[in-house]
């Protein structure tokens, strides 16, 4: 079957089939029951494959301390993607002014002030400060499911402002961390390939801001710190990253003083499956109704 790539038609068909529900926010659509079922089934499949590794499951809310983003210098690298939470701290008079402006259709956001939290821009950030100190022998492996925010409004259905990531974070000796990353890269390719997705891996760079950012991205490519698993979803030439692998080396462990059992500085790496993106890739590859999907794909997702 020849697959055609037309973003507008794909979006319209997703809506027509009740898979996504427009909300008026670009990259902020709702998800229908069938979409959610596919997404959860894929997450469960990842869970079954990862089960022998015995990752510790943690859960954090989709907000994190502003101070944590300062510690990891997020605003130096990705100010354009950040989401800041603001609220009202004023008195009665200011509250009346706020209502008057809202009711009058005027701008009112200058009456708000920043809170202590920002929206979580990467699933693994909240993990690092909690592991300050010595790791157990052999290091640590954590998994989390998190809502992630990126300010990238778009009509393109795979580019969302708010989406879920199934993330794994490995901390330990550099060799162990890299071997874990490499093994998962292979696992990820096999897992997505077995679901009938033409998955390929490649080195990648994060969308660092500005001119300095271009140098940081070049350095990241040079050192092969980031890999992605890509599948064509909205374009054959520019396949979509469904899974990304980041080797942070000592970036987080030096900031949060995370050391191996022998006192050496630990390394970290993480990988994340973009769950909405995987769901959309499966729909693109196999059709809008999972009942009609190939039997070997259904057997894995609905065992």
Q: Which residues would be at the binding site for Zn ion (CB under 5 A)?
A: 122, 124, 270
User: How buried is 117 (Cβ within 10 angstroms: 0-12 exposed, 13-18 middle, 19+ buried)?
Assistant: buried
124 token code pair: 């693994």
Question: From the CB of 87, what's the least distance to Zn ion, in Å?
Answer: 28
Question: From the CB of 259, what's the least distance to Zn ion, in Å?
Answer: 20
Question: From the CB of 125, what's the least distance to Zn ion, in Å?
Answer: 7
Question: From the CB of 124, what's the least distance to Zn ion, in Å?
Answer: 3
Comparing CB distances to Zn ion, the nearer of 165 and 195 is 165
Dist. CA 236–CA 298, nearest whole Å: 24
Comparing CB distances to Zn ion, the nearer of 34 and 216 is 216
Question: From the CB of 274, what's the least distance to Zn ion, in Å?
Answer: 12
Dist. CA 183–CA 171, nearest whole Å: 15
Comparing CB distances to Zn ion, the nearer of 146 and 260 is 146
Dist. CA 275–CA 301, nearest whole Å: 13
Dist. CA 127–CA 57, nearest whole Å: 11
Comparing CB distances to Zn ion, the nearer of 122 and 258 is 122
Comparing CB distances to Zn ion, the nearer of 122 and 281 is 122
Question: From the CB of 248, what's the least distance to Zn ion, in Å?
Answer: 8
Dist. CA 169–CA 121, nearest whole Å: 15
Question: From the CB of 220, what's the least distance to Zn ion, in Å?
Answer: 14
Comparing CB distances to Zn ion, the nearer of 19 and 225 is 225
Residues in the chain: 303
Comparing CB distances to Zn ion, the nearer of 120 and 158 is 120
């Amino acid at each position: 079957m020849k697959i055609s790539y037309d973003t507008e038609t794909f979006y319209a068909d997703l809506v027509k089939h009740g898979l996504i529900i427009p909300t008026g926010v670009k990259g902020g659509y709702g998800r229908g029951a069938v979409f959610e079922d596919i997404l959860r089934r894929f997450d469960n499949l990842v869970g079954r494959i990862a089960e022998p590794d015995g990752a510790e499951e943690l859960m954090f809310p989709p907000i994190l301390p502003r101070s944590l983003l300062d510690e990891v210098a997020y605003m130096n690298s990705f100010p354009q993607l950040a989401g800041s939470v603001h609220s009202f701290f004023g008195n009665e008079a200011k509250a009346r002014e706020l209502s008057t402006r809202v009711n009058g259709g005027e701008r009112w956001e200058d009456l708000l002030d920043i809170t202590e939290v920002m929206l979580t821009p990467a699933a693994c950030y909240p993990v690092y400060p909690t592991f300050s100190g010595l790791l157990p022998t052999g290091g640590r492996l954590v998994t989390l499911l998190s809502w992630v925010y990126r300010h990238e409004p778009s009509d393109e259905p795979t580019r969302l402002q708010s989406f879920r990531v199934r993330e794994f974070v490995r901390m330990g000796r550099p060799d162990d961390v890299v071997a874990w990353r490499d093994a998962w890269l292979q696992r990820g390719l096999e897992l997505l390939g077995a679901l009938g997705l033409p998955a390929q891996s490649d080195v990648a760079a994060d969308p660092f801001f500005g001119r300095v950012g271009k140098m940081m991205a070049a350095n990241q490519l040079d050192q092969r710190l980031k890999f992605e698993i890509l599948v064509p979803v909205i374009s054959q030439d520019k396949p979509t990253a469904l899974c990304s692998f980041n080797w942070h080396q000592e970036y987080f462990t030096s900031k949060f003083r995370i050391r191996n059992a022998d006192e050496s500085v630990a390394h970290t790496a993480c990988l994340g499956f973009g769950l909405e993106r995987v769901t959309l890739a499966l729909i693109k590859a196999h059709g809008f109704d999972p009942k009609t999907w190939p039997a070997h794909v259904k057997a894995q997702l609905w065992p």
